[in-house]
Amino acid sequence: MTSGNELTVFTATVYPDVARIWYACVRRAFPAHATTFEIFYDSDGAGLPPGCFDGANIVRRTPERRDHHDAYNDAVKRAETPYLAIIDTDVFWTSGELWADVRRRLERPEVAAVSCISRSRRKSHGTYAVVLKPEIYRRVLEKLPEGFYPGAEFLDPKLPMTQWRWFDTGDILTQAVMDAGYEVELLHLDKSREVVRFYGITLSRRGGRNFGAAALTEMAGKDKYFWRGYVSNLVLQRVYRRVFRGGPAYDFPFRPLPLVLRSLRTTPSVLAWRYGFLRHILRGGRQVEKFLREAPVL
């Protein structure tokens, strides 16, 4: 990573089209003169399309950097900047002022990280949108080399998942940082719409590719995760088409109508929840599009 800058902004991606929207946002949210941008391409595909990520350092898989968990740990170890932001590609910063506020919070020496989107079921920053101090995290990784990897203490298929004890990406590391005596500010800026979060982007697309359109529609009709992923992809596809006039298309070949028809076959309470989520995610799409059209590259 390039030294001399103040901040490194890092993400891991499977789909170049989603990363293109993400990159266009972070270039407007963080000052280029003080920021290094890095994108880990977590796929064996041809790579990210030329011309869509000018100025970013593209990182590929290696035997030591096998997937996104390895890539997060590796980003912490390699960082030469005082601050490192790890932001998922389906989380979009839509403010040029937010970084200044996060930086002020990080100026307190006891604060190791500021999480802009945090988990609700446990105290964890995950990797949604966390800005951390690499120097502190490197010391923690010396005792916890697994770093961002998930883990499990108790899993029993015979019991409800609510009784399982498992840890998602970044959960164990967050706790280790706090156990080392540091503070992690756990914010929920997606609730205040200072950042915009989409849901289930990757697994819903993989489900459609692996099992076909009919199977994806049926999975979405039965499962909240895949329903949100299907809808989120449709909204991001619309944003992509309206913002980017050239380059590769948004690679989501699944149509809205089958999902609409399947979505109506449910209970009134689920239908009400789906309508509320649709309004929420459409508003998020409009916010991202407005930011990309109106905000200058910093």
Please give the average per-residue pLDDT across 156-169, as a whole number.
69
| pLDDT, tens digit, 9 for 90 and up, residues 282-298 | 999 999 999 999 999 98
The pLDDT of residue 46 is 80
pLDDT in tens, 114-137: 999 999 888 999 999 999 999 999
Considering only CA atoms, which of 179, 180, 176, 197 is closest in space to residue 188? Answer: 197
Cα→Cα distances 6→89, 90, 101, 109, Å: 21, 24, 15, 16
pLDDT in tens, 63-93: 999 999 999 999 999 999 999 999 999 999 9
pLDDT higher at 130 or 51: 130
Q: Report the share of the chain in percent with pLDDT over 90.
A: 87
Mean pLDDT score across all residues of the chain:
93
pLDDT at 50 over 90: no
**Model confidence over 99-114: pLDDT tens digits?**
999 999 999 999 999 9
CB of 22 closer than 8 Å to CB of 92: yes
pLDDT above 60 for 155? no
pLDDT at 145 over 70: yes
Q: Is the pLDDT of residue 36 over 80?
A: yes
Residue-range domain boundaries for the chain: 7-186, 199-294
Predicted confidence at residue 184, as pLDDT, reads 98
Mean pLDDT of 189-207: 95
> Would you state the pLDDT for residue 144?
95
The torsion angle over the Cα atoms of residues 75, 76, 81 and 87, rounded to 10 degrees, is 60
What is the per-residue pLDDT for 266?
A: 96
Q: Which residues pair with 197 in a beta bridge?
A: 91
**Domain spanning 7-186: CATH superfamily:** Spore Coat Polysaccharide Biosynthesis Protein SpsA; Chain A (3.90.550.10)
Structural contact between residues 175 and 198, judged by C-beta atoms closer than 8 angstroms = no
The pLDDT assigned to 127 comes to 95
Query: What are the pLDDT digits (tens) for 274-283?
Result: 999 999 999 9
> Comparing 29-43, 165-179, 240-254, which segment has the lowest mean pLDDT?
165-179
* Residue 3 binned pLDDT confidence (cut-offs 50, 70, 90): low
pLDDT band at 163; cut points 50, 70, 90: low
